[in-house]
Structure 1
Amino acid sequence: MGQLYYDHMGPAVDVDDRTLAHLKAVITTKLRRSESFTLSWQAPDRHGRTTVWIHPSIPVKFLFDGQEPTQLNRDWIQRLADSALEGRGIILTGEHEDSGAPTAS
């Protein structure tokens, strides 16, 4: 289980390493292009959803539990990247989910 830290505020978001690797690919590409967007997820132990504004000037850190890099699924990366362009931003979903409830641990 990896962790996503954003802006040194609040606790890290727990995200499985595979999902985090795909999210990292999208976020780093968007930030390299100086593009801002929202990222939303729902923790299984909470009701509701959390949304953060991802901006190039705000620090982000990806902490992976495993040491080996993850083989990336280009289709999933594309779906995440496409959703960042929409008004709703990236909604963290599973690899084989086209839409539905956002997930994170």
Structure 2
Amino acid sequence: MGKLFYGSDPQSIEIDDRLLQYLQVVLATKLRRGESFTITWTDIAAHHARTTLWVQPAISMRFQYASSESQRLSGGYLRQLADQAATSAGLMVDAATWQQHEDAHRVQLAAAA
């Protein structure tokens, strides 16, 4: 599990390394353009169902990964997340949707092998 540190808060948000890598690409792209937006996620392990952050260029972020290797990302899923981030609802990361994406990704890898 990776960690996302947001702003000056010393606490981190634990996120699957692979998902965190997707988020890093989308967040960095939006912030490089100077665009602000929201990111909302569900966390089935937490005591709350949903969290939303306002993301803007002036707020610092740090991405910390448990694995030293980066992983190959799916262009389709990356585009889906980027498209969501461009909507007025903002980027929505759902634990169930993420798991479905990962299951499909594993099936593709197994079929290619």
TM-score range normalised by the length of the shorter chain:
0.7 to 0.9
How far 1:10 moved relative to its partner?
Answer: 5.5
Q: Determine which structure has greater relative contact order: mean sequence separation of CA pairs < 8 Å that are 6+ residues apart, divided by chain length.
A: 1
SS of the residue aligned with 2:30?
A: helix
How far 1:39 moved relative to its partner?
Answer: 0.5
Structure 1 partner of 2:39:
39
Q: TM-score, normalised by structure 2?
A: 0.80
Structure 2 partner of 1:92:
93
Distance 1:51 1:10, change over 3 A: farther
Residues 1:78 and 2:79 are matched in the alignment: yes
Amino acid at match of 2:8: H
Structure 1 partner of 2:106:
none
Residues 1:16 and 2:16 are matched in the alignment: yes
Equivalent residues, number: 97
| Cα shift readout 1:1-37 (whole Å, capped 9, x = no counterpart) | 0001110225211001000000100000111110111
The structure where helix makes up a greater share of residues is: 2
Structure 1: where are the runs of 5+ without partners?
98-105
Over alpha carbons, which structure has the higher Rg?
A: 2
Structure 2 partner of 1:101:
none
How far 1:47 moved relative to its partner?
Answer: 3.0
2:10, 2:47 → 1: CA distance? Answer: 15
Amino acid at match of 1:70: Q
2:101, 2:29 → 1: CA distance? Answer: 22
Q: TM-score, normalised by structure 1?
A: 0.85
Structure 1 partner of 2:55:
54
Q: Once structures 1 and 2 are overlaid, which stretch shifts more, 31-40 or 8-17?
A: 8-17
